[in-house]
Amino acid sequence: MTAEVLSGKELAAEIRAEATDKAQRLAAEGTVPTLVVVTATDDEGSAWYVSSIKKAAEKTGIACEVRDLGQDADRKQIAAELDTLAKDGTVHGVILQTPLPKGVSAPEMASHIALRQDVDGANPLSLGNLVAGLWAFPPATAAAVIRILKHYGFRLEGMTAAVVGRSTVVGKPLAHLLLDENATVTIAHSRTLDLPKVTRAAQIVVAAVGRTGLITSEHVSPGAIVIDVGTNQDADGNLVGDVDAVSVKTVAKGLTPVPGGVGPVTTALLLAHVVKSAEAHHAS
């Protein structure tokens, strides 16, 4: 078997085209969707990501401002910035970029993002609301996995899914989104005994770990669908996932590529969330 390549590019383009249309309509009616990215780091990878989000936002008709508080910012300054933004009706989305300065807790800081502006589901209350079945923006990456599975026509109800990784930004929210789709979900992590046995029992395997090549054909049952969330760098600096694509392709039915899989859909959904927040504000 050679797995179908579950590219995210076409789906991302669809989501972005729809968001661009809506952003143009909103702007014509006087509301320019606006995103603010708050950073407090001199990390190069982070700077690259923020500049790519800004470019993508502006292409979609979203105004995007980066507020760099500097790598020496403390918890009080970061919290005060987010509290000020929370009161600003002209701002529809806020992203708090990580890493934060040493000793500053990301969830504690993210709890200062207003829920209506929390377009990447970073506020712990957003995750709580999702689990409780209340409204919140889900983290864009977790939402992207569900959108890709649906885009390729997989009916999730009744399917077994193994999510490898239990972070609050990806693994946990994704497990809940899969549950909401009536999948039967197992969450695996670094203390899981016999990972291949756990993942081989699943029809959908999602790798959200951050370890190059962790998932091999040994972890995948024939005909399973494999979603690679991982973003790692290989020895040559190339972007690679958590899945050893060469071996997994020989057993899986479908596999998302890295790059070009979950990543572009995540960015597109983040921008769509900003536009949705602006629409809600405009209508109120």
Single residue of 12, 96, 156, 164 touching ligand NAP by CB under 6 A = 164
Helix runs in 29-100, H state only:
44-59, 75-86
Contact between 258 and 231 under an 8 Å Cβ cutoff? The reply is yes
Single residue of 112, 116, 166, 249 touching ligand NAP by CB under 6 A = 166
- Beta-bridged to residue 255, according to DSSP, are 5, 226
How many amino acids of this chain bind ligand NAP (CB under 6 A)?
A: 26
**Other beta carbons less than 10 A from residue 101's beta carbon:** 16
Give whichever of 26 and 144 is closer to ligand NAP, judged by the CB atom: 144
Q: Could you tell me the smallest distance in angstroms from the CB atom of residue 139 to ligand NAP?
A: 8
- Beta-bridged to residue 228, according to DSSP, are 207
Q: Could you tell me the smallest distance in angstroms from the CB atom of residue 196 to ligand NAP?
A: 10
At how many degrees (to 10) do helices 140-151 and 171-180 cross?
Answer: 40
Contact between 183 and 157 under an 8 Å Cβ cutoff? The reply is yes
Q: Could you tell me the smallest distance in angstroms from the CB atom of residue 62 to ligand NAP?
A: 18
Q: Please return the burial class of 197, using the count of CB atoms within 10 Å of its CB with bins 0-12, 13-18 and 19+.
A: exposed
Q: Could you tell me the smallest distance in angstroms from the CB atom of residue 136 to ligand NAP?
A: 17
> Does 219 contact ligand NAP by CB under 6 A?
no
> Does 60 contact ligand NAP by CB under 6 A?
no
Contact between 173 and 209 under an 8 Å Cβ cutoff? The reply is no
Site mask, ligand NAP, residues 173-202, x = CB under 6 A? Answer: ---------------xxxxx--x-------
Give whichever of 113 and 229 is closer to ligand NAP, judged by the CB atom: 229
**Which 224-253 positions form the footprint of ligand NAP (CB under 6 A)?**
229-232
Single residue of 60, 97, 129, 141 touching ligand NAP by CB under 6 A = 141
Tell me the CA distances in angstroms from 130 to 67, 94, 271, one per residue in order: 28, 18, 20
Site mask, ligand NAP, residues 252-281, x = CB under 6 A? Answer: ----------xx--x---------------
User: Per the structure block, which two tokens stand in for 229?
Assistant: 């969330």
Cis peptide, bond prior to residue 99, ω within 30 of zero = yes
**Contact footprint for ligand NAP (CB under 6 A):** 141, 164-167, 169-171, 188-192, 195, 208-211, 214, 229-232, 262-263, 266
